[in-house]
Amino acid sequence: MRFLRHSQQPALIAMHQRYDDDFVESAVFLAASGRRSVPAAHIRRFHIERERCYSVLDPDERNAAFFKLHLDWFREWGLEKLLLDLLHEYPLLPPALTTLAFRKVRMKKDEGAELYVSAENGRSAVVAMRPERFESDEAVRHFLRHEFMHLSDMVNPAFGYSPDVRGPAGNPSHQRIVRERYRLLWDITIDGRLGRAADSERHRAVFDQAFWFWPEDKRGEVFSRLWAPESPRHDELLTLASDPRDVTHADEPLPGGACPSCGFSTFEWADVDALGEGVRAAILRAFPRWSAARGVCQRCAEVYATANGYAEALPQ
């Protein structure tokens, strides 16, 4: 990935841009193939200039010549301007980032934007994108507006983003569900703010599947609130994703709530009062903050009883 600084863009002086060689080359070749509106004379000139690069004997110098040529035409054909114009729609990003990089990916599932933070380099963002999107300016705009909004939320103090999206439970299965729900909720707020009415029905269908346990009227109310948020917040989305049934505020275990021991949802809670003192003591040794009022699932009660030699204390 080569380092590029755009001093000709005053608003971006604080931010460096990087392009993966393959990203620029693929975008330029797509334009030269006729899949964008490019003058035929330009395409002929591009191929003539590219042939000259093969005459450079030193391999490193030849690679540098190819990259410079591709970058020149990347700019000449307005591909870089398309990216920069979209970036200007998100004024929080240039002063917050030290680097914005674009890299090529082949599969749609691999596309997206990520934020990286380090003490040495500050905050850097990487946008992974298929060059095929350059077939249409609208396809680029549709994709990048969504991803730039993700990044803008991440650097916005009002959003309060944290990369720790796991929820209160500790088991991997529950954490995966929390991350998937969180991403869905966040995407809904983004496309809602972008005014993408055409995507509303698709988001609502996925939302209904993820929160099937809510009554329909509650799903409608929450979705409407997410679709038109005044100022979404990370902590609110995470709470909704990790504890949609609000079981953490319940005074007693609820059907479908998470067991405080294993973290899995359960509909089979053990009768804590019927457990022996030894079983309750074993749970407390593993979880000092546990209390009988929080409950424990039947499976965990059996495990603690058997592991500690108190199987006979289980209610029959």
pLDDT given for residue 10 in this prediction: 46
pLDDT at position 182 over 50:
yes
- Average of pLDDT values for 42-59? 95
Cα–Cα distance, 276 to 269 (Å, whole number)? 15
Of 177, 170, 186, the residue nearest 211 (C-alpha): 177
Cβ atoms of residues 145 and 194 within 8 Å: yes
What tens digit of pLDDT does each residue of 264-292 get?
Answer: 767 788 888 888 888 888 888 877 777 78
pLDDT given for residue 205 in this prediction: 95
Cα–Cα distance, 96 to 82 (Å, whole number)? 21
Confidence band of 147 (pLDDT split at 50, 70, 90) = very high
Of 68, 103, 100, the residue nearest 84 (C-alpha): 100
Cβ atoms of residues 264 and 191 within 8 Å: no
Cα–Cα distance, 208 to 45 (Å, whole number)? 54
pLDDT given for residue 60 in this prediction: 94
pLDDT at position 258 over 80:
no
pLDDT given for residue 277 in this prediction: 83
What tens digit of pLDDT does each residue of 1-34 get?
Answer: 544 444 334 444 568 999 999 999 999 999 999 8
